[in-house]
A and B are shown apart, each in its own frame.
Chain A
Amino acid sequence: MTGNQGGFQDWLREDRLPHIYCTGCGNGTVINCTLDAVDKMGWTPENTVFISGIGCSSRAPGYIVTDSLHTTHGRAIPFATGVKLSRPDLHVVVFTGDGDLAAIGGNHFIHACRRNIDLTVVCMNNFIYGMTGGQGSPCTPMGAISTTTPYGCNEPPFDLASLAVAAGANYVSRWTSYHVRELTKAIRAGLETPGFSLIEAVVQCPTGYGRKNRLREAGAMVAWMRDNAVLMQKWRRMQEEGLPLPSGAFPVGEFVRRNLPAMGVLE
């Protein structure tokens, strides 16, 4: 890789590679899509800041050439709030994961949605705590095996995208690491929308999640996403028509795009 090729490669800190992600991890896909979207916005490393909490997803800013804050567990959004309110001219993007965002950072998450502060949050939802070796998270599906749910998860999971809609975010969508083009477009839409944007990217974690849940191969997990993701339009039609929603299926697409009053938008 050499510099100035255009696209995401210009944004990578090459002296930090290779990265720490496991073979088959989906996070790299999401980072790629995010950098592609940021680049297409015409933003530069000088006016863009990446901020993250703790976990696999949160290592991403360390591989990007911009100013970046790798903060404490769950707190990326309030750090980002301070940066954005002090310098509204900077573009602030948060990388987070399901544990970071929905468990320890849950309160910060819903309040940032309520404030509708002008941040774009990209959440890599791998259903698991990857960095610590595969413990259950607030997004672990019912019945799934993790090191802390050895008999199957018996807690219902959070629906992050719906949570963000209910809490007031201006833009919310969900895609997966299978839907690369759609994911990139969705992140782009989030970056363009003033106010709070959440893009939930469902990603495979073959090491921490797949191995225990009969999805050992990365390819098998990506195929699982492809086969279980239902386009939002179809999902809503099935709901309206009272058709049974297949077990394990989940909606992907745009959950909301609106223009509620936002905070931290450059005037």
Chain B
Amino acid sequence: MQGNTACAEGALAAGCRFFGGYPITPSTEIAELMARRMPKVGGTFVQMEDELASIASVIGASWTGTRAMTATSGPGFSLMMENIGYAIMTETPCVIVDVQRGGPSTGQPTRAAQGDMMQCRFGSHGDTSIIAVSPASVQEMYELTAKAFDLADRYRVPTFVMTDEIIGHMRERIAIPDAVGITPRRPLEQGSLPFAAGEDGVPGFPAFGNGYGVHVTGLTHDERGYPSSTDPHVHARLVSRLVEKVEGARREMADFTVTNPDAEVVFISYGAPVRSVEQAIRDMDDGRIGHLRLRVVWPFPDFALAAFTSARVFLMPELNLGQMAREAARLTNVPVVPVPEIGGELHLPDRLIALAEGYL
């Protein structure tokens, strides 16, 4: 099965019943599959006039209580930033798949990249926090896309599947589970204020058409959902909560694996470069190289770095000029060395081995 196919199938298995999209390489197969499959499962597929409209339709659908997603790549992702900010401010669960290609601008439509990792985190204006997962195989495209819906619903925040052209177009055998465990959105208790959050910072969801009479606005709003855009306290309380409900839950949602925790030289990777690192470690076959492999990338699991108690250096191969490496560097006193690869080729394992041996 192709990665993009697995992404769509994982979404359907997780109960996604609305897809609003716009064709763009290398994500188009996801929309094509959704166009074929959605009507057969009682869902909605709509091809919108652009990516601004795609994400808007997804947010609208989500307010009816429907699990909704879109898929795109760099140029379309840039267009979505406006309404991604709206989804963050209004706490609208939604899943956005970015099959990353070389940028900036139109760049390399058919070549892989991981250049949008900071854009998904900081692309909206204002202070924000979001969740992002990054699959490294076709199997994970299925699993992590499904998981993204649970994370989006649990924390009421846009959740990104940050994949790339390599994983999206790769074909691998996968095992499809009989069913995907779904944790549905917690509904708002009748009589509660629609934007009043409990201890976890996440309010219950008042889906449209149930008599809640909820007013949803991108303006700074109070717990009733009413605009209150000049009161400094209302703004500080709201935006701090929107950030803290995600940042404060980084341990709860962390998803990573640690290999050889006693190693002195440690790779950190996510997405397609995971495959190069794993091959390098297999080829060296002596346990001297460690690996922190991230499945949930944002929020970054800062505490995971501490698992490598003997680490002298972290090496971070990415298909960009060192985006997540900067995040890792600010979270540890151990030097973090970016290992960039741009242009569309994956890091060769031999290059990673030679690099690691230079530090041993």
Contacts and interface: CB of A to CB of B under 8 A. Distances in A.
Contacts of A85: 18, 44, 46, 57, 61
Contacts of A86: 17-18, 44, 60-61, 64, 66, 68
Contacts of B227: 62, 70
Contact of B52 (A16, A61, A78): A78
A47 B68 CA distance: 21
A47 B209 CA distance: 6
A70 B217 contact: yes
A70 B215 CA distance: 8
A49 B53 contact: no
Interface string B58-89: 11111110101000000000000011001000
Contact of B212 (A67, A75, A84, A89): A67
Interface string B6-20: 000000000001101
Given A47-B209, A81-B60, A82-B68, A108 B216 contact: no
Contact of B46 (A61, A68, A79, A81): A81
Interface centre among A47, A67, A72, A75 (most CB of B within 10 A): A67
A51 interface: yes
Interface of B: 17-18, 20, 44, 46, 48-50, 52-54, 56-64, 66, 68, 82-83, 86, 206, 208-219, 226-227
Contact of B218 (A70, A83, A108): A70
Contacts of A107: 49-50, 53
Contacts of A75: 52-53, 56, 82-83
A230 to B, nearest CB: 34
B83 A72 contact: yes
Nearest to A70: B217
Give the 10 A-B residue pairs with the shortest CB-CB distance, closest first. A82-B60, A82-B57, A78-B53, A78-B56, A70-B217, A82-B61, A79-B60, A111-B49, A86-B61, A67-B208
Contacts of A46: 209-211
Interface string A50-81: 01000000000110011111111001011111
Contact of B48 (A61, A62, A81, A90): A81
Contacts of B20: 78, 81-82
B59 A79 contact: yes
Nearest to A115: B46
Interface of A: 13, 16, 45-47, 49, 51, 61-62, 65-72, 75, 77-87, 89-90, 107-108, 111
A67 B225 CA distance: 11
Contacts of B61: 82-83, 85-86
24 contacts: A16-B226, A45-B211, A46-B211, A47-B209, A49-B208, A62-B227, A66-B213, A67-B208, A67-B209, A67-B214, A68-B214, A70-B215, A70-B218, A71-B83, A75-B52, A77-B53, A78-B53, A79-B59, A81-B53, A81-B60, A82-B60, A85-B18, A87-B208, A108-B56
Contacts of B18: 82, 85-86
B213 A65 contact: yes
Nearest to A107: B49
Nearest to A81: B57
A62 B216 CA distance: 8
A75 B83 CA distance: 9
B208 A62 contact: no
A83 B213 contact: no
A78 B208 CA distance: 16
